[in-house]
Structure 1
Amino acid sequence: MDQHLEVFIKVVEKENFSKAAEELHMTQPAVSQYIRTLEQSIGTRLLERSNKYVRLNQAGEIVYHHAKEIIALYTKMQSLVDDLTNKASGPIAIGASYTFGEYILPHIIAKMKEQYPDIHPSIRIQNTKEIIELVKKHQLDIGIIEGFYEENVLNSKVVSKDRMVVVASPRHSLLGEKGEIRLADLEEETWILREEGSGTREAAENLFRRYKFTPKKVMEFGSTQLIKESVEAGLGISLLSSWAIKKELTNGYIGIIHVMGLPFKRNFSILTHATYQTKALQTFIETLKTYLGDPKTSRF
């Protein structure tokens, strides 16, 4: 039945029987037969078909949601069995929030692949809230998020501290100030922040609450890279991870405003399920911890 679910998922995602058949290296009649057999097994139609489209109905939405989880669990089961006799190998589905995923994770993956070329990671980059949900649904083997995870549904472990600083255009007048300034002195500045659900946005809000500070002007962008470009252009200031600004600082594209009480520190945490971990996943976690603990990879 797992193959029937795989065919069903492919048809849903391609929204077309012919395209699904082509990608699965099957004939279109074979794909249609798989879908009919699955619908007979479930006891109801799952797809609405026409000459122009294939769409999920309400029952199909339920089956698609759970089919993704079932396939993910089946893959993990097979990997665990393979681990009994084999070395670290096979797929790992890794999810990370934007700061970690874009500025740290590629270096960790590169180091792991040097030693373990038979491990095949797939990467999802989403905001913290979305990564948590994907791990819960078994669509990711591990999630790396910014901040805390306080529920008991998943295993959570802090793996590193992130230092966050206020950044501005190199032409900003406050970069020339001697000594530290107060956060309250930045009330009139335009703050460029990430969207709700982002770990970077959560860190900024935590900082503001700590100092009972409310910026008068806020712009919300959905990308750290866009925020950095906007800061460089003089559009406003922002609170960003020191990991995310290493190149810009080195090249003089942005500068740090030295604010009393900063850098603000937050956690990077890993999320996994409370089940056995494959050797491939264990190897990835060990590589991650080694990289984050290496003084050579320090932010400044």
Structure 2
Amino acid sequence: MEQTLSSYRIFYAVANTGNISKAAKELYISQPAISKSIQKLEENIGVRLFERSSRGVTLTPEGQLLYTHVKSAFETLTLGEDKLRRSIALGMGNLTIGVSATLCKYILLPYLRNFIKKFPHINISIACHSTNQTLKLLEEGKLDIGLIGQPETLKNIDFYPVQEIEDIFVATKDYLHNLKIRGVEKHQLLKHSTLLLLDRENMTRQYIDEYLQNSRIIAQDVIEVSNMDLLIEMSKISLGTGCVIRNFVQNELKTGVLLEIPLEIPIDKRFVGFAYNKDVKISSSLRHFIDFYESCSTVSKPL
């Protein structure tokens, strides 16, 4: 498109009013400037757009065709401006959150439930990824914020802890009974169990692998799955000993559906929290969300 928006605005005003003088008053510019702009537009396009008479101007067939599209374009612009004004007035915006399916279910959704009540006009998108994938997307600026397990190094990431979690090993009473029948002693349970673990791309799995290595526990048999909920369900049907997060199996432990396996060396607790890229400009929607979770959290931010 060779013409400027101002040229089409003048053309649109003249077509609407049918009079150069009225268009000049509407646009607060001189009549000669209007006439010159229309003449230049006609020369550049190569067709006559208006028929002139003592009563004013009327569109030629070619001018009418152009007017149809210009009218649609300006109506779309006006609609966009109106929507933008309403968006600003209502505090509308967009927020994209990266999170694993498990953390979304157990931690993020309770936050969102209250956040949405306070900011109902912010559109929220959730991208389900592992902590490692979420960190990568945050660094690339493809997510606004992520709910992740605390990484060892933060680099350009601001991390705010919202919940302390504890990894434990669990199994059913029947599974432990079968191990006992095979002559497996309590202190050998992990070595002789089928371990149900998250896949190796998951930060939790990397954390547990380090624990097993430091504890000199070599797993004989491992089943890998992609999410914590599946681990819990597989543990409940006696498929093996699952490594799960205590916070997410409270009911199963309370009712005896799953039993915690005592460890000679306990697994250190860790934090889950919200993280965002400090090098990316913070939108108003993200600022609202940051202020919200910081005001709700009861966990102190580490130095």
Same fold by TM-score greater than 0.5: yes
Are the structure 2 counterparts of residues 89 and 243 from structure 1 closer, same or farther at C-alpha, using a change threshold of 3 Å?
Answer: farther
Equivalent in the alignment of 1:62: none
TM-score by length of 1: 0.60
1:293 aligns with 2:298: yes
Equivalent in the alignment of 1:94: 97
C-alpha deviation, 1:153, in angstroms: 3.9
Give the secondary structure class of the aligned counterpart of 1:150.
coil
Equivalent in the alignment of 1:131: 134
Measured against aligned partners, the alpha-carbon deviations of 1:102-129 in whole angstroms (never above 9, x if no partner) come to 3211111001112221222111111112
Are the structure 2 counterparts of residues 221 and 237 from structure 1 closer, same or farther at C-alpha, using a change threshold of 3 Å?
Answer: same
Moved more, 137-146 or 205-214: 205-214
From 112, 116, 129, the counterpart of 1:113: 116
How far, CA to CA, are the matches of 2:293 and 2:162 in structure 1?
A: 8
Equivalent in the alignment of 2:146: 143
Give the secondary structure class of the aligned counterpart of 2:136.
helix
Give the secondary structure class of the aligned counterpart of 1:105.
helix
Letter in 1 for 2:222: V
Equivalent in the alignment of 2:155: 152
Unaligned runs of 5+ in 1: 1-80, 295-300
- The within-5 A match list for 1:1-300 is 88-150=91-153, 152-173=155-176, 184-262=188-266, 264-274=268-278, 275-293=280-298
| Counterpart contact for 1:189–1:217, Cα < 8 Å | yes
How far, CA to CA, are the matches of 1:131 and 1:203 in structure 2?
A: 17
| Counterpart contact for 1:203–1:266, Cα < 8 Å | no
How far, CA to CA, are the matches of 2:198 and 2:155 in structure 1?
A: 27
| Counterpart contact for 2:175–2:240, Cα < 8 Å | no
How far, CA to CA, are the matches of 2:100 and 2:94 in structure 1?
A: 20
CA RMSD of superposed structures (Å) = 3.0
| Counterpart contact for 1:99–1:224, Cα < 8 Å | yes
Equivalent in the alignment of 2:47: none
Equivalent in the alignment of 2:60: none
How far, CA to CA, are the matches of 2:140 and 2:217 in structure 1?
A: 37
Measured against aligned partners, the alpha-carbon deviations of 1:176-224 in whole angstroms (never above 9, x if no partner) come to x9xxx97654211110111111122122112213312221111111122
How far, CA to CA, are the matches of 2:296 and 2:160 in structure 1?
A: 16
How far, CA to CA, are the matches of 1:183 and 1:117 in structure 2?
A: 52
C-alpha deviation, 1:91, in angstroms: 1.1
Are the structure 2 counterparts of residues 136 and 102 from structure 1 closer, same or farther at C-alpha, using a change threshold of 3 Å?
Answer: same
Are the structure 2 counterparts of residues 269 and 194 from structure 1 closer, same or farther at C-alpha, using a change threshold of 3 Å?
Answer: same
Are the structure 2 counterparts of residues 108 and 269 from structure 1 closer, same or farther at C-alpha, using a change threshold of 3 Å?
Answer: closer
Give the secondary structure class of the aligned counterpart of 1:293.
coil
How far, CA to CA, are the matches of 2:293 and 2:205 in structure 1?
A: 24
Moved more, 87-96 or 247-256: 247-256
Letter in 2 for 1:127: S
Measured against aligned partners, the alpha-carbon deviations of 1:255-274 in whole angstroms (never above 9, x if no partner) come to 22232333531222432122
How far, CA to CA, are the matches of 1:183 and 1:89 in structure 2?
A: 56
TM-score by length of 2: 0.60
How far, CA to CA, are the matches of 1:218 and 1:118 in structure 2?
A: 46
